[in-house]
A = this chain, B = another copy of it.
Amino acid sequence: MNQKNVSSTVIRRLPRYYRYLTSLKDLGISSISSKELAKRMNITASQVKQDFAAFGWHGLQGYGYDVSFLHTEIGRILGLDTVRNMIIIGAGSLGHALARHAEFEKKGFKIIGIFDTRSELVGQKVNDLEIMHFDNIEEFLAHNKVDIAALTVPASHAKGVVEYITKLGIKAIWNFVPMKLQTDEDVTIENIHLIDSLLVLGYKIKENANIKDD
């Protein structure tokens, strides 16, 4: 089947399903109803059914869904069986935090390089990686397969860095810079906008709004 037709809302729910299914599996639970899954996901049972039907999965009357099956399938769809090489551009506190995040490698995202332009940072170690000068990134990319570049540079540098690394062949950017990146159509971008999230939290507090979408 063609997963490209599955909506982004459903795709964004997959990591959460996966997390929950992992806990269920660890607890030795073998089946789960759409109703129970729905409760945990803060969506309706019929949304759960729809989400899974998009992949051709259907529950059994009186049994529900097979936990192990869903866990394996969703893991496969999310590419958890694949190792991806990631570099971090910007070795400030956020770059350090990403480099030290132990969970990434467990999920198959291996950090193989970290770059900065600040000479006082170059040569310092973060975990086992020595921070490299950004001037060396072309040579690095020539000798290493890099799937993802995490971008944690100041906003003022973002445009130049993105133009440069996409010319060097980077096709996927995990963007922490609070701005919309302009790239060619064939470059995939995933944004973490911390400020946006904080503003939504501020809104929820102010309105005492019951927004439960994650």
The chain A residues found within 8 Å of chain B, CB to CB, are 3-4, 8-9, 11-12, 14-16, 18-20, 40, 77-80, 82, 84, 92-94, 96-101, 103-104, 107-109, 147-148, 171-172, 174, 178-180, 188, 190-214
**This protein's copies in its complex:** 2
4 closest A-B pairs (Cβ-Cβ)?
Answer: A15-B196, A93-B97, A190-B201, A94-B97
Q: Is the CB of B15 within 8 A of A200?
A: yes
Q: Cβ of A19: which chain B residues have Cβ within 8 Å of it?
A: 178-180, 196
The residue in chain B whose Cβ has the minimal distance to the Cβ of A209 is B4
Q: Is the CB of A171 within 8 A of B205?
A: yes
Complex Cα distance, B107 from A72, in Å, reads 42
Q: Is the CB of B174 within 8 A of A201?
A: yes
Complex Cα distance, B186 from A90, in Å, reads 38
Complex Cα distance, B148 from A205, in Å, reads 9
